[in-house]
Amino acid sequence: MDLTTAWFLIIAFLWIGYFFLEGFDFGVGMLLPVLGRDDVRRRVVINTIGPVWDGNEVWFIVAGASMFAAFPEWYATLFSGFYLPLLLILLALIVRGVAFEYRGKRDDARWRARWDRAIFWGSVLPAFLWGVAFANIVRGVPLDADHEYAGTLLDLLNPYALLGGLTTLTLFVLHGAVFIALKTTGNVRLHARSVARVAAVAALVVAGSFLLVTQTQYGKSWTWLAVAGVAAGLAGAAAANARGREGWAFIGTGTAVVLAFVTLFGSLFPDVMPSTTTAANSLTTQNAASSAYTLEIMTWVALVFTPIVMIYQGWTYWVFRKRIGTAQIPAAKAAKSGKTGRPGEPATRKSPIG
């Protein structure tokens, strides 16, 4: 395996890790108005990701930085041609992060309601637009001889890409519902399980349709295994959720998210940005890559620091592994206190997350 192929696999791993982790973050944000019937329940829902959401976003930063360093032509074409969708994603992520930190700073119901809406829309937009972006990457876009995007915004809003956006949206809603059920107790847990039952059907229909189109038009022979794995993961998640086995259900939804993007990256390789005008204009792992010396240095850096980051993040999840319920957020204390170290964190220090 040469270094260009190795770095394609590393970047695919980083993006897949991002969507596995941030996928349930987006799902939690999108389900906030559904499961958060009052302020205490909303705080329970937010606290399920309170200690980890910002760490999950690090994967996005590292994936983007790795693309810039390993495949600068890919990075330049992607971030210039997809400028508006990616700008909307970045703005949504910024607003969402600010909302997590600021919603509990004032004892004002309207203040919190505004930030809760920001969390919702700051989760919906990236969940949908990431699917649109990656579907277009696999499908291909108009590129000229200089590998520059030669299309318009409307070219990106084609039916296949919109179906890709709905796929990530429904998968992340299901992933988030199962995660909330896994991390909560009482009525919030039961409500999350009921939402997951409905979301599983929607995800199976939408994701199944999108991946079948992807496989028949762009897929490789081996990616049929990944498509089958997505179906098995969703079916297993639905069955486990019905039995109250949230841990197994989360493994199922996580498997579906991972294998859905394995299908996309597998269908894309060895291209990194196919051209719909002529194949000669396509960007590949060879003509989009940095020099061999740059890739060699990056490989040593990745070998040293990637395990450290993964161990630290795994430790964080282990520390904050306990379930949380409304009992950990007394309404009276929550209303009086404006001190929170994490987004929506309970005022009491007896909370399992803080």
Mind listing the pLDDT tens digit of every residue in the chain (354 residues)? 699 999 999 999 999 999 999 999 999 999 999 998 888 999 999 999 988 998 899 999 999 999 999 999 999 999 889 999 999 999 999 999 999 999 988 888 899 999 999 999 999 999 999 999 999 999 999 999 988 988 888 889 999 999 999 999 999 999 999 999 999 999 999 999 999 999 999 999 999 999 999 999 999 999 999 999 999 999 999 999 999 999 999 999 999 999 999 999 999 999 999 999 998 999 999 999 999 999 999 999 999 988 898 898 899 899 988 999 888 886 644 444 444 444 444 443 333 333
Distance between CA 322 and CA 44 in Å, rounded?
13
The enclosing H or E element of 103 equals none
Position 37 scores a pLDDT of 83
Residue 123: closest CA among 21, 36, 30: 30
Position 152 scores a pLDDT of 87
- Enter the tokens of residue 189: 């847990």
Burial grade of 312 (CB within 10 A; 0-12, 13-18, 19 or more): exposed
Position 349 scores a pLDDT of 36
Decide if 44 contacts 350 (C-beta within 8 A): no
Decide if 26 contacts 171 (C-beta within 8 A): no
Position 345 scores a pLDDT of 46
Decide if 179 contacts 28 (C-beta within 8 A): yes
Distances (CA, A) of 182 to 83, 88, 122, 128, 225: 37, 31, 23, 24, 28
Distance between CA 203 and CA 166 in Å, rounded?
9
3-state SS class at 143: strand
Distance between CA 348 and CA 309 in Å, rounded?
30
Distance between CA 227 and CA 263 in Å, rounded?
7
3-state SS class at 311: helix
Give every CB contact of residue 337 below 8 A, 6+ residues apart in sequence: 347
Decide if 316 contacts 18 (C-beta within 8 A): no
Position 341 scores a pLDDT of 44
Alpha-helical segments (H) within 140-245? 153-156, 159-183, 186-218, 223-242
Position 354 scores a pLDDT of 32
